[in-house]
Structure formats: structure tokens, C-alpha cells
Amino acid sequence: MSAGQPSGDWLSVAEKGSVLGIRLTVMLATVAGRVPARMLMKLLALWYTLLHPGVRQASRELGDRLGENRRGLGAIYRHVLCFSEAALDRLWLIQGRGDLFAVTRNGHEHLERLHAQGRGAILLSAHVGSTAAMAIGGHDERLRIRVVGYFKNARMINAALHRLNPRAAAQVVHIDPGRAETVLDLKDRIDRGELLAIAADRVGLNDRSVTVEFLGMPAAFPSGPFLLAAMLQCPVYFVCGIYRAPNCYELHCEPFSDRIVLPRKDRETTLARVVGQYADRVACYVRAAPDNWFNFYRFW
């Protein structure tokens, strides 16, 4: 268990690209359509693969964890391209263009049941595939799914996407870890029956963390999402959206806990066990779809 300040590597990496570049990509995608924009993504993915050694190192590190021999440039390129294409699809997902995609839903009945009962819940996600795909068919609005997180590191991309659909801003809840009112606001949302999707695989600056085994090696995970779930005393589910080129998404939802209870006498041990269970679920989907692992920094 680590209570110190984590490295925050993913936050220290500047948002690559520029406002102009992002706007040009949005313009091309809007005017020319998805196919030409995907061609541009192939070039951008190649550029990142060749010119960013940190990206190559992160992809090779994943390959090592999965038991591959030294991962070559071709495999790294496919990994980066998968991320690029899934990121590009957000342009259409936030505009409600679900007709462009084929989607399968596994465990969706859990969310439907919560909706019918008017109950809120926490949806623990990870940077595996695309949680934005949950918007396909307007399910994010009907089920009142809100993406919760600290988005300062992606401010340019999010600003460009929100210009396409200002209503998308209502589906995103920006939190400031330093605000005491954050927990109260999220509690109100849970009481109103909202489903709060929180990525629980990245440790931010000044975050407390728990070190557990992940893909055979120790890795730090933030304790905040699990402490929050314990405070809110609501059901918790694990969700992810696996991307399969060229236009398929597999949406998964599975029960994680009726509620997370952290007894005072055994708090640290219980917390580590709960985080370990989450890490095991993430590892399961990473093994099934390695190129959907979208953490391009030193994770272990």
C-alpha cells in the first residue's frame, strides 16, 4: 500500500498535438467523412510510432507483460493505430451517429435494471477501449450515464469535441480533487439515479495509490475511486467498450460489488483486495484485446 505521491507520469505527459491540428482533423472528418479521416489516422499513428520513443517503450512494456517476445514496430504501430481510430470515433459518437457502428452489448440488462429502479451506481471503467461507445443508440442519455474525471490533460481534445455537440458537456462531470464539495455533488447525482463512469486505472498527482499485481507485475492503482464508492454506498459495476476495427464495439458490463465496505479495523487490507479484484478484471480484457490498452506511459 502506498500513501505517498505517485509519479503521475500520465499527467506529466503534455497533450500531444495542437489546437490547429485537432481542428483540422475535426474539419476533415466532418467534411469528408469517416473513411478519409481514418486514412489520416493511419499516417498520424505512424508518426507517433516513429517519433515518440516513450510510446514505443510503453507498448513494448505491455508486450512483455503479455509474454510476447520483443514487440516490433509493426505490432506497436497496430497498437497506436487502434487507439487513434477509437479516439477518432468519438467525433461521431458524440454526434449520435450510432448508425456508423456495429455494437454488441454484454450485461446491458444490469444498467436497464438500475434505470427501471431509479437507482444510481458507479461504473468502474479503465483506459481499455472506448467508454464513449456507451453513447451508441443514445443509451448514455436515456440511462443518464455521466463520465466523471479530471480532464485537464485532454482539454484541447475535449474542447474541440464539445464544439461539435454542446450537449455532450452535460454528459461529462469535471471534478477537482481538491474540492470538498465533490463528494456531496456526486452523492446528489447518485441519489437522482445517475450512473457515474469513473476510470480507476490512472494515478494522478497527489493521489493515494494501492499497489497490486497486474499482468504478473506490481502496479499502482488509485485508491480514490474505491474510497468514493465506499462513501457513496451504492452498487458498483465494471464496464468497458472493446474496439474491433473497422467499426465494431463490444460493450461489457458486469457486477463488481453490491456496495464496497471498508471496515475500520481491516481497512487497508480490504482496500487492497478490492483494488486487486478490479485489476484482475482489467487484465482479463487486456489479454482478450491487447491493442485496446490505451495507457501509453510507464505503467509498471
Q: Which contacts qualify for 277-281: CB closer than 8 Å, 24 or more apart?
A: 278/124, 278/200, 278/221, 278/226, 278/238, 279/212, 279/213, 279/214, 279/219, 279/221, 281/238, 281/254, 281/256
CA 248, 157, 143 angle in degrees (round to 5)? 55
Pairing of strands 172-174, 121-125: unpaired
Residue 161 confidence (pLDDT): 57
Residue 8 confidence (pLDDT): 46
Cα 136 from chain centroid (whole Å): 16
The residue behind cell 504501430 is: 77
Residue 183 confidence (pLDDT): 86
φ, ψ at 242 (rounded to 5°): -80, 130
Q: Which of 188, 86, 199, 195 is nearest to 139 (CA)?
A: 195
* 158: amino acid identity, one letter: N
pLDDT mean by block of 10 residues, the chain; 300 residues: 42 47 70 85 92 95 93 96 92 83 95 94 96 78 82 59 61 69 90 94 84 97 94 96 96 97 94 98 98 95
Dihedral sign (CA 134, 137, 143, 144): positive
According to DSSP, the residues that pair with 220 across neighbouring strands are 211
Tell me the three state secondary structure of residue 126.
Answer: coil
Residue 5 confidence (pLDDT): 39
Query: 78-110 burial, b for 16+ CB within 10 Å, e for fewer?
Result: bbbbbbbbbbbbbbbbbbbebeebebebeebeb
Grid cell, residue 220, equals 499502482
**Residue 182 near residue 176 (C-beta atoms within 8 A):** yes
Q: How far are the Cα atoms of 80, 82, 85, 272 from residue 42, in angstroms, in the given order? A: 9, 10, 8, 40
Taking the domains of the chain in order of start, what are their residue ranges?
Answer: 9-292
